[in-house]
Amino acid sequence: MRQDIVIRGTTRTGLVILLPDDLEFGVLIQRLREKLAQAGRFFQGAEATVQVGSRALSASDQDAIARILDEADMALRTVTKGGDPVAEAQAALKAAEQSRHSGTLPAAALLAESETAMVVTRTLRSGQSVRHQGDIIVLGDINPGAEVVASGHIVVMGALRGVAHAGCTGNTGAFVAAIKLRPTQLRIAHVIGRAPDEQDNLQTVPEVARVRDGMIVLETPTESKR
């Protein structure tokens, strides 16, 4: 996904205009002009802080930005380096939140950016949660009230009694497998399934949950081969 210019209102410092890193400056200037033109008179009279990310700007570049704002009847407050403070704060908050919930798990492991599998070698109890970009393998149980969220598959070498969300970024091909699959709720991509209210003919074999025809179905590992 290509990044675009973001204009955000703040209560104390007026508007903040965030310039993405991955655009060439000429194109960026053009984009900014178009964007402000599209807004018409909406931003008229506003003061703006321009954040330029990691980009190094020359004095003439800064002047160019000031001119564009001037054309839109806006005042340039400052030009600062650095990225989106809101996104950064959200990321920091998320990291803090997860390390708080995770108990003894190192926060770094939870937030690992890589697409490799993450291995959790303990039981997750009520209130604990693990999130990972990639697959998650749990050597232990997921108790009711605990949750596991992965962008890839989730494999539990134990009893899954809590909530599992596989393919959380939209991958409907993701699956959830467990030795004992008794989840409170299963989610795969945007599909949500829950255990039937009357628990009958419970399987005692390992099961795999997949999305078939828009619904979550449970199969044995052999049935589940595609």
Partner 1 sequence: MGQVIVVTSGKGGVGKTTTTANLGTALAQLGNKVVLLDADIGLRNLDVVMGLENRIVYDLVDVIEGNARLKQALIKDKRLDTLYLLAAAQTREKKDVKPQQMRELTEQLAREFDYVVLDCPAGIEDGFKNAIAGAQKAIIVCNPEVSSVRDADRVIGLWDAQPESKGPAMLIVNRVRPKMVARGDMLEIDDMLEMLAVDLLGIVPEDEHIIVSTNRGEPAVYHTESKAGKAYQNIARRLTGEQVPIMQLQDDESIWAKFKRIVGLSRG
Contact between 125 and partner 1 per CB under 8 A: yes
Minimum separation from the CB atom of position 145 to partner 1 (A): 6
Q: Distance between CA atoms of 130 and 102, rounded to whole angstroms? A: 7
Minimum separation from the CB atom of position 198 to partner 1 (A): 16
Which listed residue (144, 173, 194, 221) binds partner 1 by CB under 8 A?
144
Question: What distances in angstroms separate CA 53 from CA 6, 62, 73, 92, 93, one per listed residue?
Answer: 12, 14, 24, 18, 21
Contact between 220 and partner 1 per CB under 8 A: no
As given in the structure block, the two tokens for residue 213 are: 């025809």
Which listed residue (53, 134, 145, 193) binds partner 1 by CB under 8 A?
145
- Site stretch for partner 1 (CB under 8 A), options 72-80, 138-146, 192-200, 209-217: 138-146
Which listed residue (131, 153, 161, 210) binds partner 1 by CB under 8 A?
161
As given in the structure block, the two tokens for residue 164 are: 């599992």
Q: Is 221 left (phi over 0), alpha (psi -120 to 50) or beta?
A: alpha
Minimum separation from the CB atom of position 99 to partner 1 (A): 11
Please answer whether residues 68 and 33 qualify as being in contact, where contact means their C-beta atoms are separated by less than 8 angstroms.
Answer: yes
Q: Distance between CA atoms of 36 and 43, rounded to whole angstroms? A: 8
Please answer whether residues 153 and 175 qualify as being in contact, where contact means their C-beta atoms are separated by less than 8 angstroms.
Answer: yes
CA angle 177, 143, 104 (to 5 degrees): 100
Which listed residue (23, 143, 189, 218) binds partner 1 by CB under 8 A?
143
Q: Distance between CA atoms of 165 and 172, rounded to whole angstroms? A: 11
- Site stretch for partner 1 (CB under 8 A), options 41-49, 88-96, 121-129, 212-220: 121-129
Contact between 221 and partner 1 per CB under 8 A: no
Minimum separation from the CB atom of position 181 to partner 1 (A): 15
Which listed residue (9, 82, 127, 221) binds partner 1 by CB under 8 A?
127
Positions in the binding site for partner 1 (CB under 8 A):
103-104, 123-128, 141, 143-145, 159, 161
